[in-house]
Amino acid sequence: MKMLVANWKMAPETESIALRLAKATFTAAQKYKKSLAVIACVPYIYLSPIKKGVRALTLGVQGIAPGVDSAATGMVSVAMVKNIGAAYAIVGHSESRARGDTPEVVKAQLDLVLAKRMTPILCVGEKERDNQGWYLCTVKEQLETSLAKVPKATLKNIIIAYEPVWAIGKDATRQATPSECREMIIFIRKIVTDLYDKKLAASMRIIYGGSVDEGNAARYLDEGSADGLLVGRVSLDAKKFAKLAASII
Ligand code: PGA
């Protein structure tokens, strides 16, 4: 089953637009449910109305507090989102890391999400590519810190999202090529093999994100060997998102 994860980020601005978008996202999910698992990672504020209005849409959030102490002004806990019905949580997105989420914070979030039996979508990716291959070390470090002490039996619940920072969002310098995606996915499986074993590494779900659209999506899966996609901007455009889903079934 391929995965298609919508990352709405800090959009849309109203609940009625969010509900419309959720309905359209669910329509696409239903249409292709035999081969595609669609997950919408929405802003916290829309979790509850969407859960009520579009009950069967699989929901996720884009981060959680790194602790459980309720004296944490402005934060939202993993228990809160789980109790509303979120099943997935993005952790370590580069935009969250850029706002100050350290590797330790990302690790704490990952462990909390796993402990609540939700599925973490762990984002890794380098800020820039160099010719010496140092970007591989960045991803290795991110993985090693986050996966430290994660038991073998729990590992299969994690989804890894390779998101090269330079290919994300409107400031992307360019799109990643499918072969760059493939190289990194092979590398990630190698790291997981070194940390665990080959069988686990082979079964790990590794998805790709960064300027994915209805024109390039299929290539990241076919040539890039990704198990799914994490989609930002295009997930906010119902028509394009439906086209993207159709292009990868
Ligand atoms: P983008 O965002 O598709 O708009 O590049 C992807 C992401 O940040 O997850």
Asked whether 125 lines ligand 1 (CB < 6 A), one says no
Query: Cβ-count burial of 224 within 10 angstroms (0-12 exposed, 13-18 middle, 19+ buried)?
Result: buried
Nearest to 231 by CA among 140, 121, 156: 121
Choosing from 93, 174, 231, 236 the residue with most ligand 1 atoms within 8 A of its CB, the one to mutate for a pocket test is 231
pLDDT in tens, 23-69: 999 999 999 999 999 999 999 999 999 999 999 999 999 999 999 99
What is the pTM assigned to this prediction? 0.98
User: What gap in Å lies between CA 2 and CA 197, rounded to an integer?
Assistant: 23
CA distance linking residue 228 with residue 37, whole number of Å = 9
Q: Which residue has the tokens 């069988």?
A: 199
C-beta of 92 in contact with ligand 1 (< 6 A)? no
pLDDT tens, 18-34?
Answer: 999 999 999 999 999 99
Q: Report the chain's mean pLDDT, rounded to a whole number.
A: 98
The one-letter code for the residue type at 4 is L
pLDDT for position 90: 99
184-232 pLDDT per residue, tens: 999 999 999 999 999 999 999 999 999 999 999 999 999 999 999 999 9
Q: In a 10 Å sphere around its CB, with 0-12 CB exposed, 13-18 middle and 19+ buried, how is residue 39 labelled? A: buried
Residues serving a catalytic function are 93, 163
Q: Which of 7, 162, 170 has most ligand 1 atoms within 8 Å of CB, for mutation?
A: 7
User: Beta strand pairing status for 58-61 and 86-91?
Assistant: parallel
Q: Is 210 in the pocket of ligand 1 (CB under 6 A)?
A: yes
Instruction: Choose among 222, 154, 144: nearest CA to 188.
Output: 144
